[in-house]
Amino acid sequence: MQIWVDADACPLVIKQILYRAAERSQIQTTLVANKPLAVPRSKFVRAIQVGRGFDVADNEISRRVVAGDLVVTADIPLAADVIARGARALNPRGELYSADNIRERLAMRDLLEKLRETGVQTQGPAPLDHSDRKRFADSLDRLLAKRPA
C-alpha cells in the first residue's frame, strides 16, 4: 500500500497529518502537484511536480495508482477513477469514497456544474474545521490499521 496525495488543493493541516502518519506507519506517501512543494525530509515522504494544466496531477496519480493504494483527494472524478482501479479514495474531510457512494457524488458534482453554467451561484465547501481534521485523522488511522502487515 502506498498513499498518493492530490496535493494542489490539499490543506496544509491535512498534509501535516499525512506526514506524521507516513513516519509512524512507515508507508510511502507521495504528494503530486503542479507547483513545487516543501515536504519534510523523510524516506517515507516525497513530492512529484508535474506540468501545469487541467487535471495533470490527477492524471499522474491515476497513471501510477495500483489496487490497494490510498488516494487523498477532494476531486470526485479522480476518486471514481481510483476506485475503479481497486484503490481507495479518502477526502480531506475524512469521507471514504466507495463504489457505493461515488456515483451519487459524481451526479451531485455534475448537477452543481450545470447550475453554475446557467449562472446559478452555488456555495463552495465550508472551511475545514477541527472536526473535519479529526475525522480525517481517524479515518486515515482506521485505513492504515487495516492494511496487511
For the segment 47-68, what is each residue's pLDDT rounded down to a tens digit? 999 999 888 999 999 999 999 9
pLDDT band at residue 113 under the 50/70/90 scheme: confident
pLDDT, average across residues 73-79:
92
pLDDT band at residue 149 under the 50/70/90 scheme: low
pLDDT band at residue 111 under the 50/70/90 scheme: low
104, 80 Cβ separation under 8 angstroms:
no
Kindly report the backbone phi and psi dihedral angles of residue 141, in degrees, each rounded to the nearest multiple of 5, phi listed first: -60, -40
Whether the per-residue pLDDT at 137 is higher than 90: the answer is yes
Whether the per-residue pLDDT at 96 is higher than 80: the answer is yes
Share of the chain above pLDDT 70, in %: 91
Q: Please give the mean pLDDT across all residues of the chain.
A: 90
Q: What is the torsional sign of CA 15, 71, 92, 76?
A: positive
77-80 long-range contacts, Cβ below 8 Å, gap at least 24?
77/106, 77/109, 78/6, 79/105, 80/105, 80/106
Kindly report the backbone phi and psi dihedral angles of residue 26, in degrees, each rounded to the nearest multiple of 5, phi listed first: 55, 55
Q: Which helix (H) or strand (E) holds 87?
A: none
53, 34 Cβ separation under 8 angstroms:
yes
Share of the chain above pLDDT 90, in %: 72
The per-residue DSSP string of 65-80 comes to: --TT-EEE-S-HHHHH
Task: Please state, in angstroms and rounded to a whole number, the distance separating the CA atoms of residues 133 and 116.
Answer: 29
Grid cell, residue 112, equals 452543481
- Pairing mode, strands 3-6 and 70-72: parallel
Convert the pLDDT of each residue in 16-51 to its tens digit.
Answer: 999 999 999 999 999 999 999 999 999 999 999 999
4, 60 Cβ separation under 8 angstroms:
no
Q: What is the pTM of this model?
A: 0.86
- Per-residue pLDDT at 127: 84
- Per-residue pLDDT at 106: 66
Ordered by where they begin, the domains of the chain are 3-146 (3.40.50.2000)
